[in-house]
Amino acid sequence: MSRVGIIGIGHGVFGRRSDATVQELAFEAFRDALEDAGIARDDIDASVIGSVPEYHKQRSLPGVVQEYLGVNPKPTWLTEVACASGSAAIRTAWMAIKAGVHEVVAVIGCQKMTELSTPEILGLMGRVGEVQWESVFGTTFPAYYALFARRHMHEFGTTRDQLLQVAVKNHHYGAMNPCALFRKEITLEKAKESEEVATPFQVYDCCANADGAACVILASEGAAREIAKKPVWLDGMGCATASMSVLRRPNLVGLPSAVEAARVAYEMAEVGPEDVKVADVHDCFTVAEILAYEDLGFCKKGEGGRFIADRQSYIGGKVAVNVDGGLKAKGHPIGATGVSMTVEIVKQLRGEAGERQVSDADVGLTHNVGGIGQYCFVQVLRRD
């Protein structure tokens, strides 16, 4: 079957964007993606919006975004699977092109999160867990992932320093990313002095909410080769699910949805984890990146702590991971995150990442998790 290519990318600054509404954030990314692709808005056949509506005052968000972008009366629709909404939007557009329904589709991940208070956000995120038996007891996202961290430490000897070394790495690269929320490096000592959040997590173990948007424009193989100078191909598209309740999971030291999504993506792209040069993974908490190393096959189960301690996920290591700062330093506007990951990998495969560039990057991967692992999307991207 013919391939689907990415022909344009756009990315706004993540942060506390009191200067822009959600549709203005979407426009920033869309405008830049059109310019990058060298096409006009009339060339867009449809748009897919990745966002979580509960965080916005506006209901039916795609309508106001589509109107503001000036793309009416073309079709538009919303995808929502918690923090993986952006990657779900990309997959939906990919399927529409594969089916022959559309030729060129804009995917926009956009989210305004800072209009709500931290307690309101924690309440919303806590209800992504199983409502009947878990969230009624006051579960929060940090607490869920703290369970994973404590179990990983118990079974494999993973240390607090190894967890925080993920944060040190991601802030190191985030300092080089002009779109990141946090652009300052941190030391391990500073991270260890930060306040506790949910044992064993401290402040620097946790990503921050943000406002922001990112856009990718997808096209059929014929259109991509005609339009783009450097198309990047979505050759592996895996997604999978797991139980809503973590109590019904087989263990707490990995995400079964991530393992299955990776298996599907690798098989479709006819590559293995050893072929991946650069990856953007869902590091909502430091342990999440360590779990991703293992779930994606970059190292064996239980060896993720040693993987970061040995700097194998830095540029120059086995596979460069989150060299845009990841969620940890870049920020996490949940609907935009998956699209932002894809933008970064496209930059890397085109050789346009500047001082963060991974040499000889020809195969890249994104890993976007929704909820507490209820959903996972893994993409394998490749350049010609």
Active site amino acids: 83, 332
Q: Is 231 in a helix, a strand, or coil?
A: coil
Rounded to whole angstroms, the Cα distance separating 19 from 190 reads 31
Strand 320-321 and strand 278-281: the pairing is parallel
Distance of alpha carbon 274 from alpha carbon 147, whole angstroms: 29
Closest CA to 280 of 214, 366, 342: 366
CB 360 within 8 A of CB 315: no
Reading across the β-sheet that carries 278-281, which strands appear in turn? 76-79, 46-50, 104-111, 212-220, 4-11, 232-241, 375-383, 363-370, 278-281, 320-321
- SS3 assignment, position 237: strand
**Is it true that the peptide bond before 200 is cis, omega within 30 degrees of 0?**
yes
In a 3-state reduction of DSSP, which class is residue 184? coil
